[in-house]
Each structure stands twice: as C-alpha cells, then as structure tokens.
Amino acid sequence: MRKILLTWLSVLTLFQTPVSFAQEAVPVSSPTTFSPPSPGLWDIFGTPAISSDSQGASWVVWSGSVGTGYHLFYSRGECRGAGVNSACRPDWSPAQGMSFLFSGVEQYAPSVALDPAGYPWVVWVGYDGTDEDLFYSRWTGSQWTPESKISSDPSSLDKTPSLVIDPQGTAWVTWTRWREGQKDIYIAHWTGSRWTLPQKVNSPRVTSNLSPQIVLDHQDRPWIFWAGFDGTDDDIYYSYWNGQGWQPEARVNFNDTVPDVTPSATVDETGTIWVAWSGFDGETYRIYFSYWTLAGWAPEALVTSRRDDPSGPPSSSETSPSISAGFSKYPLLAWSSAEGPQRKISLSRWDGSLWSQPFELRTNNSTGPSPTESSYPSYAESPIVCSLSSRQAIVLWSATHVEADLRSTSTPSLHARFLELDSLRSPLFNDQPPATPNGGRQTTNNAPKAMSNGSFLDNEGYIAFGDSITAGDGDEENLGGYPPRLESLLDQQVAPSTVLNEGVPGETTSQGVGRIRQVLQQDQARYVLLMEGTNDIFLKVSTGTIIFNLSTMVDRSLSFGTIPLLATIIPLRNLPGDPPTDPGNVATQDLNEEIRQLAQDKGIVLVDQFQAFSDYPNYQTALYADRHHPNARGYDLMAQTWFNRVLEARVDGSVSVLLNRNSFFSLSVLETWVSLSVTAGALDFYLRLATPEGTLFYLTRPNRLGAPNTVLPLKTGLFLQEAVNLAVLYLFKGTEPPGTYTWTAILSLPGSDIGNPNNWVSSYSVSFAFAP
C-alpha cells in the first residue's frame, strides 16, 4: 500500500531503459511533474484523467489536497505545433484548483472529455460526509461553471464515473451505484439543458459491477464496458445504446472460472472498438485484449507472450491497462507491471496485425539496469495513455519513490510524458500460447515449481507477506512495522525465530498472486502471514476477485509446504479530512466477512486484525499514523494479535532412528529403534524403507510393511506426544536383494503430500548393508 501524504518535492529525474529490440532508446520528452499551486502538503488521491483534441491540446484533472480536504486540480497542455503530422509537445500550465475548490464537499474520481468546441467537461464524485453523488462542471473559455449535481440518491453511493461527449455535444456519463450490497451500472446523458434521470444498464444476474468505461462507436452510439461478477468470477461485460434502449449485457472474454477485471476501451479512426483488461492466466495476471468485428468480438488473446521460463515463477504481474487510439488506427496500450517489489510502466502498440514488443518507462532515479541499495525504484502506478495524433501520445502516471528498506517513501507525484509513436515499430511477438481445454486459460496452477532439494523449511521462520501495512509505513519508531515486534515476542516466549518482512507498498492481491511463489522459494520459511486487500478496496476491485486471489495465495503456500495464516485487513481511519475511500468501512467489512469464511473453508488459522483494532478504545486516534497506516502503538497491537494466533498454528517435533548394526547377513536380525516427539501442533508419522532397487515400503503397523510404493502413515494426528519410542524387528531370510537399504522416519504436516520434502517438519535417515 502506498503512502500518499507528503510534502512538495521538485521534479524527479526519470530515465527510460533502452529498448532491447532497437539500437536506440524510444524518443521521449523530459517528464513533467505537476506541482501544487503553492508549497505545502500535497496528497494526490486516486487516478487522474486526461483528454486531448486533434490538435494536441490536452487537459489533465486530478484530486489532491493542500490540507483542506480533497479537491479537483487541473493543468492545460498547449501544443508547440499543430496537426497530426507535426511534433506536438505540450507546455503544461501550472496546476490550479477549479473555481469551486473549497465548496465543503470532498471531490475525487474525475473523468474529463472535450466538447465539439474543444472545451473540457469534468464529472466527479462528491462526498458530503454521508453520501456520494456525481457532480459536473464545464469550461466556458475563461472559467469553470458552478458545480452541479448529476445524481442525488441518499440511499445509494455513486462511484467511478466515465464521461464521453459526441460530436453533437451530447454528453454521456456512466458510473457504478452501490445500494444495499448491490453494485450496478447506471447511465445518464445531457439533453442540452439538463441531465436525464439515471438509468440502470445491467441485469440482476450480474452483480458487483465495477470499473465502467464508456466510448462512442463510428455511429456515435455509446458503448459501456465493465467488470461484473456472475456468481463464479469477474468477467468483462458490455452494452450499447441501440437507439431505443440499452442492449442486454454480454460477455467479451471467454467464459472461464478465473477473474477478468479493470477494462479499458477505445475506438480507432476506422471505427473499430478495442478493449483491454487484466486477466488471470492460471499463474499470474496478464493483459488481454479483443476488438469488435462484423461477427462479434475477436477471441481474447494475450498482448504479451510469456518471456520467462515456463517452469519457473513468472516475471511480472500485469494490471491496470489503459488503451487509446484517438486519432490513429493503431491503438497504444500501457499497463502496470509488478516484478517482485518493483513497479514499472510497460507500453505496446498495435501495428495492424500484432502488438509490438513491450518497452519500459523506467521511473527510478538510477540509470543502471537495476536499483542500487540506496536507490530503490519508484512505484509507478495507474498509467493513463492518451493518443494526441497518429504520431504522438501522452502517458500519465503517479509515482512514489521508495528506499531500499521499503519503508522510507518520498512524495508521490503526478507525471506526464510525451511519446513519438513512430519509434514504437519493432519486431513483434507472435508466439501466443495455445488455448487451454476450458476455452481460455488454466483455472489455476498451484503446484510447487521448485523443491528445496530435500532440505526442510525453517520451522522457526515466518514470512510477513502483504502491502505497506506489512512493510511498516507509518511506524514513527522506524522499526519496520509488526514483523520485528513479532520476532521479538517469538524470541522471548517461544524460540529464536526469524520474521522476514516481505511487505511491498502499494501491492494489490492481483500482484501478490504473481509474487508469492518466488517469495516462498526464496525464504524457505515454515509459516507465511498473509494480510492483503486494502489497496484492492482503494481500486474498487470486487470482493469475489480479492477472495480468489487470497485463496490462490493460500493454496500456493499449502502446496509448497508452508503453513499460511490469513488475516482480516484493518479498518480505514475515516476521520474528518481523510479521503472517503471506504465510508463507514462498508467494503472493508464485507471483504473481511469473506476472509473469515475463506479461512474456515481452507482449515487455516484466522488472525482477526480488524476486530483487534475495532475493539481498541478510540482506535482511530490512538492507533493510526495516517488514514490507513498504523503508528507504533498500532503495530504493537498487530504483532501481539499475530503472536496469539501463531501459537495455534505452530508445529514442531523431532525424530531419530537407531540400528543395532550397520551390516547384515542371512538369518541376522535387524533391530530398529525410533524415537519421536511432537512439541507443537499435530503431525503425521511415516517410517519407510528404501530397497537397493529404489522401491519404497511404508510401515503400516509394527513389524508390518505395506505394499510396494504405497504411501501410508504409521500414525496420524500425533499431538504433543513426548518421547514415543518404537521398536521394529526383522529377520533376514537370505532372499532379499543385496545392497544398501535406508530407513527414513518422517514427521510431516497432517494430510500433506509426503512426496514434497517441504512438508516434512522433521526427518531422520539411516542406511545399512545386506549381503546374503
């Protein structure tokens, strides 16, 4: 999770990595950083909006705070040249507050579009402390008109508007309306004198309809795209105005059982409608696309082919796509890529048949290929791409510089960059992976990709996995949040332990899915402490997709042999002046109910951090450093809450094997003594014999071996057993194969795959020889 309360800084110097497929880097302009109207606090909230005309004039609108609530700011980009064939690099005006800056209503989630005269209209969400409604204003040529309401329904919350204006001047706005647990898509349009009454677009069969985007086709009909939950997963839906009403919603993507979210849509100069979104491919989240043909939607396809080793962890998670064709027949696509703890922006352009090889806009302050210890990459997030012409485009993004300790963050800033699109022509990916049997993608792949080569996980090792709340943002004692505090508790009261802080600021659960396998393989710890989802709440991701992602992370942990503990997310502070990300913590509480159910369904330990915070007296003022990060006292509480539940999840034990001799002959007796103890949790016990040919026999009861290569435990669910001793006697008849035999005694996680050594809590092997 990204910390965004900050002071004004100067422009960050950004570098762009040379493109791997070309001799020269793609020409780009120097970055523009939008600074506050005057020095002071500058808290950027949410995703900015941009719109441009055919001459390259651009308007950027965003929500920010200068210490008096969250209000709209804008900057105007005037072109140095005009026309589609001239270089057009905007000169941005200083950031200014809109004329109704201090109206007493919080303003955020803007959408901007230009009318036929080239004047911008802005639609946004306004929050008066009890209700979220839609407002609008338009530029007259010299000033903004007074803000006016589009919607007003005290029984609902209106969120995430998207605006478009047709050549006749008719403005259409779509948004998500939250009411009594249902999230529906609504639409209204400007008649020339007023806004029509809001009209519901989706049917009741699709719930949790989020992230609407609206575009105009070549007949100037509005089309709406959104992510909707059908009871199984999120899919990309669309509807369009047929002249009489809204066409019943239909699906764009394949009908599979994995999430497809955050659509972005555009129309190119030929009238072709394009849609891009982030979808789960069975391993991580990738960018998919489709376009409208005379026969309907083209089959979904990946924008990027997998460039990493298919047998290893993926190189990145791809989220938050933004696609724009504008005044070109070649759409440009930008998205966020997460590789480990790094965040970057990737871009690709359609050349008429395929997407170009992606290139990266680096947003760190080092020219090297990788960050240095003292210079960690900036977190570049939420890119917005806007085509200016057939040759030029602008990319807009926000970035926060983070030091190598993942805790010290600088000012999050808003940036824009100019691109020469002709430079993006390049060799292309054409090795799209084959379709999987379900018609689209694998549902999930949780099998371990790497084993620990027979070694065991650290039984006193813990992985703290999450976002900036795990990383320790807001800790005024600068200890690093709850992980070092938990480690101290474990050291003092249980055993010398290691708690590894794997928190990444700004991370969503979609990005966590792509990162967790690598972390498990790298850290080799027995336990993983999962707490993630706050950033998904910020981005209005559906509860169904968040739970899918958390469930996938739990399954991958279990498959690896790591014991997961799952935490609810803490409440947002929601004090006056805080941005109304989740008023009343309604979405947070809904998610936490599902997290509690998920822990029960998976049979894993739940750590109810939300309840621990809610039960603390005056928690909003006592436990928080800012609107969503705990202070030192809050992290103390988190550590104690983790500790109390870790004791229930712990497993530990030891086993040893002793033989009466090391070599045997015909008619000699093999005497095997096994000693074992379980000191924490419940464990299964196996005793197996490996023959010289490699056949495995498992002891099923004292002095009785089971069938060859049939895995059976000798004891299950051993719980707090002290010094259990077992004697096994065997008389060699002389018919046994000669060679080396090996006894292996194993204490493993209950019900786990014994073929995965990571599931072994303790083991002991001893070999002996037999000769007839």
Q: Is the residue at 30 inside a domain?
A: no
Is the pLDDT at 363 greater than 80? The verdict is no
**Domain match, 521 and 628 both:** yes
Euclidean distance between CA atoms 546 and 508, whole angstroms: 9
Show the tokens assigned to 117: 């005269």
pLDDT at res. 31: 52
Domain endpoint, select from 605, 621, 649: 649
pLDDT-derived band at 99, boundaries 50, 70, 90:
low
**Cβ 551 vs Cβ 545: under 8 Å:** no
* Residue 637, pLDDT above cutoff 90: yes
pLDDT tens digits for range 554-598: 999 999 999 999 999 999 998 877 777 888 898 999 999 999 999
Q: Tell whether the model's pLDDT for residue 194 goes beyond 60.
A: yes
The pLDDT of 134-153, averaged and rounded, is 91
pLDDT, tens digit (0-9, with 9 covering 90-100), for 77-86? 876 554 444 4
Looking at per-residue pLDDT, the higher value among 424 and 614 belongs to: 614
Q: Are residues 529 and 566 in the same domain?
A: yes
Does the pLDDT at position 16 exceed 60? Answer: no
Q: Which of 631, 649, 667 is the last residue of a domain?
A: 649
- Judge if 624 and 661 occupy the same domain: no
| Residue 582 sits in the same domain as residue 665 | no
Co-location of 523 and 614 in the same domain? yes
Element housing 484 (H / E): helix 482-493
Q: Nearest-CA neighbor of 185 among 210, 205, 168, 219?
A: 210
Q: What does the pLDDT look like over 311-356, one tens digit per residue? A: 444 457 999 999 999 878 889 999 998 887 778 888 999 988 899 8
CA distance 195 to 188: 6
Q: Over range 681-686, report the average pLDDT.
A: 93
Residue 172 lies in a domain: no
The answer, yes or no, to whether residue 409 has pLDDT greater than 80, is: no
Per-residue pLDDT tens digits for 742-771? 999 999 999 999 989 999 999 999 999 999
Tokens of 264: 């972005």
Supply the CATH number for residue 682's domain: 2.60.40.3880
Q: What is the pLDDT of residues 221-259, one digit of tens each?
A: 999 999 999 989 999 999 999 999 999 999 999 999 999
What is the reported pLDDT for 131? 85
The CB density around residue 15, as the number of other CB atoms within 10 Å, is 16
The answer to whether residue 403 sits within a structural domain is no
Do 499 and 631 fall into the same domain? yes
SS3 for 644?
Answer: helix
User: Is residue 552 domain-resident?
Assistant: yes
pLDDT tens digit sequence for 249-305? 999 999 999 999 999 999 999 999 999 999 999 999 999 999 999 889 999 999 986
- With bands split at pLDDT 50, 70 and 90, how would you rate the model's confidence at 367? very low
Residue ending a domain, among 634, 649, 664, is: 649
CA distance 428 to 355: 6
Residue 607 shares a structural domain with residue 587: yes
Token reading at 577: 């002046």
Place of tokens 């890119």: 383
Radius of gyration of the chain from Cα atoms? Answer: 29
Locate 623 and state its tokens. 């436990």
Q: Mark whether 499 and 574 lie in a shared domain.
A: yes
Does residue 626 fall inside a structural domain? yes
The whole model's pTM is what?
Answer: 0.87
Q: Give the confidence band of 42 by pLDDT, cuts at 50, 70, 90.
A: low
Q: pLDDT confidence of 308, banded at 50, 70, 90?
A: very low
CB neighbour list of residue 122: distance below 8 Å, 6 or more residues apart: 49, 61, 72, 74, 98, 110, 111, 112, 136, 137, 138, 144, 163
Can you tell me which residue has the tokens 């813990």?
462
The domain containing residue 620 runs over which residues? 458-649
Query: Within 10 Å of residue 245's Cβ, how many Cβ atoms?
Result: 10
Ranges of beta strands (E only) in 79-231 are: 91-92, 96-97, 106-114, 120-127, 132-138, 148-149, 157-165, 171-179, 182-189, 199-200, 207-216, 222-229
Domain assignment present for residue 113? The answer is no
Nearest residue to 151 (alpha-carbon basis) of 201, 194, 89, 97: 194
Residue closest to 429 by CA, chosen among 354, 329, 335, 326: 354
How many domains is the chain partitioned into structurally?
2
Residues 509 and 582 in one domain: yes
Residues 467-486 have a mean pLDDT of 94
CB count, 10 Å around CB of 149?
12
Q: What letter represents residue 154's amino acid? A: P
Is 760 a domain residue? yes
Mean pLDDT score, 483-488: 97
Tell me whether residue 38 is in a domain.
no
Name the average pLDDT for the chain: 83
Instruction: Using pLDDT thresholds of 50, 70 and 90, give the confidence band for residue 219.
Output: very high
Same domain, 642 and 761: no
Helix (H) or strand (E) holding 679: strand 669-680
Buried b / exposed e along 665-690 (16+ C-beta atoms within 10 A): eeeeebebebebbbebbbbbbbbbbb
pLDDT of residue 549: 97
**CATH number of the domain enclosing 576:** 3.40.50.1110
One DSSP character per residue, 28-95 reads BPPPEEE--SSSSB-EEEEEEEEEE-TT--EEEEEEEESSSSEEEEEEEEE-SS-STTS---PEEPPP
CA dist., res. 682 & res. 651, Å (int) = 7
Banded pLDDT at 376 (limits 50, 70, 90):
very low
* In a shared domain, residues 583 and 688: no
For 235-288, where are the alpha helices, taking DSSP H only? none
- Do residues 578 and 589 share a domain? yes
Q: How many CB atoms lie within 10 A of CB 644?
A: 12
Element (H, E) at 346: strand 342-349
